[in-house]
């Protein structure tokens, strides 16, 4: 069990650029989640995959955000035309199915918009 | 309305003492799960303990226990024999519904353990 892996750890970009983050979940986990966390706040849910199907998206997820999990393994989160307000920590988590199953989190990708 | 409320932005505890971190939740679904996570300054979220809405007994995991009061919709985390390494942010979270997909997190409590 190597844990949830996220890349890159840090991303600095200029406003208006596109960025893409990658998440590799724990291998046997069929559920994958993306969250955004700003300073002093708890994680905010963005989207959720069961295998390759994106089953739920938050209203927070504007049309500039898109996520994929093409083969039910790794996932990518893309932000187009980044804005200052996108600066945050983006967390990925995975779990197995089961109401009592916790989510296991990666270390996150910290995005800074210049 | 907030799904998860943590009213203590910061808490201090003397090393080796016990501390209680408060969490209240809001749901009308009879089936839900409550989770506590620890987030040290390094940033990773670490799962601590789980309580299901139908569980008859309070959950315990080592030095962590959950004081579950269903009628009051509270799920307070109790850390016994605090250690310096317990200094971190603590988040309460809820999964709503038996097959609920979303986790709702509170704003967290910053715990500082004083030597």
Q: Enumerate the residues of chain B whose CB falls inside 8 A of the CB of residue A103.
A: 35, 47, 103
Position A31 confidence tier, pLDDT thresholds 50, 70, 90:
very high
Distance CA B36, CA B38 (A): 7
Distance CA A74, CA B90 (A): 28
Distance CA A19, CA A7 (A): 12
Residue A66's pLDDT is 95
Q: Enumerate the residues of chain B whose CB falls inside 8 A of the CB of residue A48.
A: 101-102
Contact between chains at A102 and B50 (C-beta distance less than 8 A): yes
Position B103 confidence tier, pLDDT thresholds 50, 70, 90:
confident
Closest CA to A90 of A70, A72, A65: A65
Closest partner residue to A107 (CB to CB) among B33, B43, B99 is B43
Residue B88's pLDDT is 97
Please tell me the distance in Å from A114's CA to the nearest CA on chain B: 22
Contact between chains at A42 and B93 (C-beta distance less than 8 A): yes
Residue B43's pLDDT is 86
Residue range B6-43, pLDDT digits in tens:
999 999 999 999 999 999 999 999 999 999 999 999 88
- Interface probe with A: pick from B101, B104, B110, most Cβ of A within 10 Å: B101
Residue A40's pLDDT is 85
Position B2 confidence tier, pLDDT thresholds 50, 70, 90:
confident
């Amino acid at each position: 069990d190597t844990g949830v892996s996220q890349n890159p750890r840090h991303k600095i970009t200029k406003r208006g650029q596109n960025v893409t983050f990658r998440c590799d979940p724990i291998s046997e986990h069929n559920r994958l989640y993306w969250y955004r966390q700003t300073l002093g706040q708890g994680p905010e849910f963005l989207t959720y995959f069961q295998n390759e199907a994106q089953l739920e998206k938050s209203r927070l997820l504007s049309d500039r955000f898109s996520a994929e999990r093409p083969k039910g393994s790794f996932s990518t989160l893309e932000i187009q035309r980044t804005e200052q307000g996108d600066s945050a920590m983006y967390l990925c988590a995975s779990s197995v199915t089961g109401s009592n199953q916790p989510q296991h989190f990666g270390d996150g990708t910290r995005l800074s918009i210049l | 309305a907030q799904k998860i409320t943590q009213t203590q932005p910061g808490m201090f505890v003397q090393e080796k003492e016990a501390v209680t971190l408060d969490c209240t939740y809001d749901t009308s679904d009879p089936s839900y799960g409550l989770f506590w996570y620890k987030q040290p300054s390094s940033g990773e979220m670490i799962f601590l303990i789980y309580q299901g809405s139908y569980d008859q007994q309070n959950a315990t995991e080592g030095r962590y226990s959950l004081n579950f009061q269903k009628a009051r919709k509270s799920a307070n985390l109790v850390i016994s024999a605090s250690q310096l390494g317990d200094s971190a942010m603590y988040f309460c979270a809820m999964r709503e519904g038996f097959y609920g997909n979303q986790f709702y997190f509170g704003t967290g409590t910053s715990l500082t353990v004083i030597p």
